[in-house]
Structure 1
């Protein structure tokens, strides 16, 4: 059993991130070189690292442009790297979308477009349809992120209000061949949902999008709803012949990263149990579930013997009830900490593999059976902090935030709970 439990948990996170390293992941998926031009496009919080890795391993002419979050850039010689706002779009993202669309215009059948897509691309590629504005896309994103809707539903809605998402970028690149290399941050690894699928159409319809809005009680401005009901919102179909020459590869995913973390745990003599790589739902409810399972193991040695580490991935959501700071991983952990209050022998980490959880600069945090008590000792009520969606404040006051910085990749949430 490793003596430093937090170091052990951090090593599992590091292994998960390393398994999604762009330079290693991209080597097995380099496409055949074309007779004509090679144009690289991309979007997401790891898009610059993907572009740098592709550039290093492509021994032929290429050009292109990718967009990533502010502060997430990487050095490229032939591919232009732009930066824009995340999680809410801005004017820089709007210009990036236009430049990416321009880069794929006028191509021929002999040309190749390589699309490097990863999590975060939806916000980084605002491209409102005619009659709508950047402010409309910002309003849509704010409503979606506050709704608690699963990522699949959010991206189904987003793709119907865009000139670049939902396969439209690949459509614009025709008749060139498009090869999409995707780092999946989506539960279930449907590549069409990553960054709302700029080069990968999916089968969801306008009716599906409108049903999701109703089901999740998402409040949208009338002008946006009217557009989503109009013929102009119709997205390309996966059956369209324009996509017949295109190929898609998921080059990194939560499943592969969790398996890498499990191997590191095994090397330390700790059994690893992967609960799921596709967990969704409210972060605080997921925290209660994980804590209940950990408590059962700690107190009754079932359904697993100690020592054991429980691993899970996917993307939970946070429905905003308050106005605090934090993200889904810190909210998950604060909820779990309340359910583990006073229990010995349990240590947990939850963090986003891109290095940023929500709007702050931490990836996540650590928690154990003393977390809630230490917050109370600082004069705060952890239950009230959770009710106000203020998990960041809770962990900041006890110095338990986990802040590794930008990682250059994104396979979504990583959770590990060690029971000894």
Structure 2
């Protein structure tokens, strides 16, 4: 119920209407990208009083029927040709806007992969390889986006710059710790204060083997993003309309209505999923009963085994191992977009008997964790959470009930 309320609080139909602008003198053109962007586009259509047009790209399976805004589905988390074509078309639409027009840009998590348009001479294959490497590296999402927006011809403020001299208003559903607009879909419509040198330093610090052309672009500064204060961004603004903190507050209301005290552990927690789990297990065991511990953010998984990763499932498996069957403790961890990693599973649940049930099936929890195979672990127990597309994305949701 708490997870359901968190997701409902961030539904585009609920958050878009109160943020729509006044009609412009010219055209309203909707541009967008992300796993929530099609639902955001539908909410705009349902509440906009006049004419509009546009193009939005979302993940396969996340389309919502629209009448006037074209919805394109493309690859996520690995970019594909459909995303490349949609990005090129989006930039062409932006270039055709005039000073009386308004570009209403709808951005949510997932937009980084969906806006697939590498800086030449990089190719789509280069961008795909870079995405795969970053996803397996354990680099926090902010670092991943730092690299991606500097090697993109549409992210890092470039879409807003292309819209000049039109006015740009971006409505953002945040899926990133800290809610920094430059990290939501890698900031296609906001100025980016970071530099190519910072992106290169991160690559070297983590020992990432990027294509030679990418390194050259960063070393020379030829791939520098659009900076705050750029004249082309003078008429661009952005609003965050849904965020992890608001979703956690909605979930907390459910717990309190049931008479349960709530402790907020934070909405921007990062770090290796298994390490975060160990720290939270210690906190949980020291918590007075009854209580609900809520947290959000985006942990990472450095994939070294043969499993599929999945930060919420890995967090839960590590949490179960650390709790070691402690009585009265139940937990849920899931991604609010319905996708934990690369699969179609949102997350999972655990209880005091999770490890014993696994061992009765001949499954070694520690071996599953070492192999980054938490999704298979919970599938065998029947404790995976499958929601399908939720049409929003406010990052990870974690609830620990200490009864």
Distance (whole Å) between structure 2 residues aligned to residue 200 and residue 117 of structure 1: 11
Matches within 5 A, 1:99-138: 99-138=89-128
Q: CA deviation at 1:213?
A: 1.2
Give 1:321 shift: 0.7
Q: Shift of residue 100 of structure 1?
A: 1.1
Q: What is the CA–CA distance in structure 1 between the aligned matches of 2:142 and 2:221, rounded to whole Å?
A: 22
Q: Of the candidates 234, 240, 252, which is equivalent to residue 262 of structure 1?
A: 252
Aligned-pair distance for 1:124? 0.5
TM-score, scaled to structure 2: 0.98
Match of 1:406 in 2: 389
| 1:38-77 equivalences in 2 (<5 Å) | 38-77=28-67
* C-alpha distance after superposition, 1:278-311 (max 9, x if no partner): 00010111111111111222xxxxxxx3111000
**CA positional deviation for 1:342:** 2.0
Instruction: Tell me, yes or no, if the aligned pair for 1:167 and 1:200 is still in contact at 8 Å.
Output: yes
How many pairs were matched up? 403
The CA distance in 2 between the partners of 1:279 and 1:216, in whole Å, is: 20
> Following the alignment from structure 1 to structure 2, what is the Cα–Cα distance between the partners of residues 111 and 288?
52
Is the aligned partner of 1:325 residue 2:315?
A: no
List per-residue Cα deviations over 1:158-208 (Å, max 9, x = no partner).
Answer: 011011000000001110000000000010110111000111122011111
**Any conservation in 1 of the 2:157–2:188 contact (CA below 8 Å)?**
yes
- Structure-2 separation of matches of 1:14 and 1:276: 19
Distance 1:216 1:49 in 2: 36
1:418 is displaced (CA, Å) by: 0.2
Calculate the aligned-residue CA RMSD, in Å. Answer: 1.0
Q: Distance in 1 between matches of 2:210 and 2:319?
A: 32
Shift, 1:222, TM fit: 2.4
Contact preservation (8 Å) 2:191, 2:230: no
SS of the equivalent of 1:323 reads coil
* 1:328-360 deviations in Å (ceiling 9; x for gaps): 000100000101112110000000000111111
Distance 2:329 2:44 in 1: 41
CA displacement, residues 199-254 of structure 1 (integer Å, 9 cap, x when unaligned): 11220111111111122232323232222223321111111121111111000000
Provide the secondary structure at the position in 2 that maps to 1:104: helix
Conserved 8 A contact 2:197-2:221 = no
| 1:215-230 correspondence runs (5 A) | 215-230=205-220
Specify the SS of the correspondent of 1:229.
helix
**Equivalent residue, structure 1, for 2:221:** 231
Aligned equivalents of 2:206, 2:282: Cα separation in 1 = 27
Decide which moves more: 229-238 or 169-178: 229-238
Q: Answer whether contact 1:125 1:164 (CA < 8 A) is retained.
A: yes
1:164 and 2:147 are equivalent in the alignment: no
Distance 1:328 1:145 in 2: 11
Q: Partners of 1:220 and 1:318 in 2: how far apart? A: 20
2:318 aligned to which of 335, 351, 368: 335
Alpha-carbon contact 1:117-1:195 (below 8 Å) kept: yes
Post-superposition shift, 1:129? Answer: 1.4
**Which piece of structure 1 moves more, 219-228 or 110-119?**
219-228
Shift of 1:101: 1.1
Match for 2:272 among 256, 274, 282?
A: 282
Secondary structure, aligned partner of 1:94 = helix
Which structure 2 residue ranges, 5 or more long, are not aligned?
none
**Per-residue deviation, 1:147:** 1.1
Q: Secondary structure at the match of 2:330?
A: strand
